[in-house]
């Protein structure tokens, strides 16, 4: 089956000095436009009780550009325009979370949009329009042809480029292109598996596979703590402190990459080799308080794990079922169905007290087996890629959990 998917490709740029300056300038203008827009929205809201949209703000900014901000002509007009669009999205998410909070469905922060500062890094900017891809380079509006560090990673044909985002992180520059692409979904004959995300391990599968946490993460965290102390010892505003902050930033980048990689590999492996994957619908903010998730997953977030698994499932013909939050998967005996109401997080082994059964099993494995059993009973679930998913497969995939949750 062929489907149209929207996906992104991210790769590192190899910039020369002139391009580096131009990229920094673009990021600077994007940051300026975002902060300016935020201030304008706040002002307008105080006076009129209404907030101008990204389109209104862009028109206003363009008028200002001619008189007060001539330096903005040095960058692509997309940079401020897309930054204002991001601001609109930031407010939309803020209002969405406020509503959820009122309904009692959100326990985290509501996240009112904040000013962007250079302290958080150089930042990023997004461009649309004429974008061309070559085997070793990418051509962007106003920036010209930028060399890529990896050869032929970006697809050359069969795609429609929607936008390109350039980002800086710890001195490295990346470009991420969002594309629309036709894809063939393979026939997936793999087994059904339940996945229990672990405390001490990354995950336990119902077939008995245990996916361990990577040890190197722990070592890196130790190093980060040491570097944080080094920053604290340096005098504020000094060159040595700046240097220490840079070293710390590099280490954060490494550990972030390693964790993201762990989760990417895990979700790919599941989607490629299993035909049905059953996961638990975890209340993320509650889970983090319990330190219930392995470090790699708690770092990228359970929502990110589920997002990756869902979109990859659509690529590889796998089906994701999300079990309801109230399904007592860890408290139920996978052998006979007896429920241990007293089971706590500290109990690592499940012991069935039903005299006819007496099952003794690793707690996580027991939970994973219970989850895998839900695959058969859940008749409402549907294929993650959906039959009519052409062009909309990603949205369809994201909606799936709520439909099959019960
Ligand atoms: Zn039992």
pLDDT (mean) for 270-288? 77
| Strand-pair category, 172-184 with 2-14 | antiparallel
Average pLDDT over all residues of the chain: 84
Count of CB atoms situated within 10 Å of the CB of 198: 21
pLDDT for residue 344: 79
C-alpha 308 chain-centroid distance: 8
The two three-digit tokens of residue 154, written as one number: 């970006």
pLDDT (mean) for 150-168? 93
Q: Tell me the C-alpha distance between 139 and 42, whole Å.
A: 37
Q: Which helix (H) or strand (E) holds 34?
A: helix 17-48
CA of 352 from ligand 1 middle (Å) equals: 5
pLDDT above 70 for 113:
yes
pLDDT (mean) for 241-247? 92
Helices 17-48 and 78-102, axial angle in degrees (round to 10): 50
The two three-digit tokens of residue 288, written as one number: 């983090």
- For 82-101, b/e burial (b = at least 16 CB within 10 A) is bbbbbbbebbeeeeebeeee
pLDDT for residue 281: 77
30-39, 186-195, 246-255, 377-386: which has the minimum mean pLDDT? Answer: 377-386
Q: How do residues 30-56 score in pLDDT, each as one tens digit?
A: 999 999 999 999 999 999 988 899 999
Question: Across the chain, which distance is largest between two alpha carbons, in Å?
Answer: 85
Q: In which band, very low, low, confident or very high, does the pLDDT at 326 lie, cut at 50, 70 and 90?
A: low
pLDDT above 60 for 386:
no
CA of 356 from ligand 1 middle (Å) equals: 7
Which is nearest to 313 in space by CA: 276, 366, 262?
Answer: 276
Please identify every residue annotated as catalytic: 196, 280, 364
CA of 347 from ligand 1 middle (Å) equals: 16
11-15, 300-304, 314-318, 358-362: which has the minimum mean pLDDT? Answer: 300-304
CA of 342 from ligand 1 middle (Å) equals: 15
Q: Which residue has the higher pLDDT, 302 or 385?
A: 302
Question: Full-prediction pTM beyond 0.95?
Answer: no
Query: What are the strands, taking DSSP E only, across 187-344?
Result: 192-197, 203-205, 210-211, 276-280, 319-323
Helices 54-67 and 17-48, axial angle in degrees (round to 10): 120
CA of 348 from ligand 1 middle (Å) equals: 16
- DSSP type of residue 36: H
Q: Tell me the C-alpha distance between 381 and 14, whole Å.
A: 45
DSSP 318-349: -EEEEE-TT--TTTB-TTT--B-TT--TT--E
Contacts 24+ apart (CB under 8 A), 357-361: 357/333, 359/333, 359/334, 359/335, 361/334
Task: Please say whether the beta carbons of 157 and 181 come within 8 A.
Answer: no
pLDDT for residue 283: 59
Residues in Cβ contact with 208 at an 8 Å cutoff, skipping those fewer than 6 apart = 365
CA of 350 from ligand 1 middle (Å) equals: 9
CA of 351 from ligand 1 middle (Å) equals: 8
Q: Tell me the C-alpha distance between 196 and 203, whole Å.
A: 6
């Amino acid at each position: 089956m062929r489907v149209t998917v929207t996906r992104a490709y991210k790769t590192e740029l190899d910039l020369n000095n002139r391009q580096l300056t131009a990229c920094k300038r673009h990021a600077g203008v994007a940051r300026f436009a975002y902060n300016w827009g935020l201030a304008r929205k706040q002002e307008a809201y105080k006076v009129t009780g209404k907030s101008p949209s990204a389109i209104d703000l862009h028109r206003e900014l363009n008028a200002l550009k001619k008189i007060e901000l001539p330096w903005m002509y040095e960058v692509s007009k997309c940079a401020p325009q897309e930054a204002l669009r991001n601001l609109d999205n930031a407010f939309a998410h803020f209002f969405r979370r406020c509503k959820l909070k009122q309904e009692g469905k959100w326990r985290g922060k509501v996240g009112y949009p904040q000013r962007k500062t250079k302290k958080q890094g150089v930042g990023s900017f997004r461009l649309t329009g004429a974008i061309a891809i070559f085997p070793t380079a990418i051509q962007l509006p106003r920036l010209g042809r930028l060399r890529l560090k990896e050869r032929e990673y970006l697809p050359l044909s069969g795609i429609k480029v929607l936008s390109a985002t350039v980002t800086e992180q710890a001195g490295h520059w990346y470009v991420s292109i969002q594309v629309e692409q036709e894809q063939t979904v393979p026939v997936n004959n793999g087994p059904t598996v339940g996945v229990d995300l672990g405390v001490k391990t990354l995950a336990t599968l119902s077939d008995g596979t245990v996916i361990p946490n990577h040890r190197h993460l722990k070592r890196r965290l130790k190093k980060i703590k040491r570097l944080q102390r080094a920053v604290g010892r340096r005098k504020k505003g000094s060159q040595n402190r700046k240097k220490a902050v840079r070293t710390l930033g590099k280490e954060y980048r490494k550990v972030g990459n390693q964790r993201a990689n762990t989760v990417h590999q895990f979700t790919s492996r599941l989607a490629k080799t299993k035909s049905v994957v059953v996961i638990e619908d975890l209340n993320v903010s509650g889970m983090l308080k319990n330190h219930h998730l392995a470090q790699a997953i708690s770092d990228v977030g359970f929502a990110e794990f589920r997002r990756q698994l869902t979109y990859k499932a659509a690529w590889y013909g796998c089906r994701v079922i999300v079990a309801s939050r109230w399904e007592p998967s860890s408290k139920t005996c996978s052998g006979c169905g007896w429920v241990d109401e007293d089971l706590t997080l500290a109990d690592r082994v499940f012991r069935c007290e039903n005299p006819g059964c007496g099952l003794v099993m690793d707690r996580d494995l027991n939970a994973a087996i219970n989850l895998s059993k839900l695959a058969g009973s859940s008749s409402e679930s549907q294929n993650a890629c959906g039959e009519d998913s052409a062009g909309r497969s990603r949205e369809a995939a994201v909606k799936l959990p709520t439909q099959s949750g019960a």
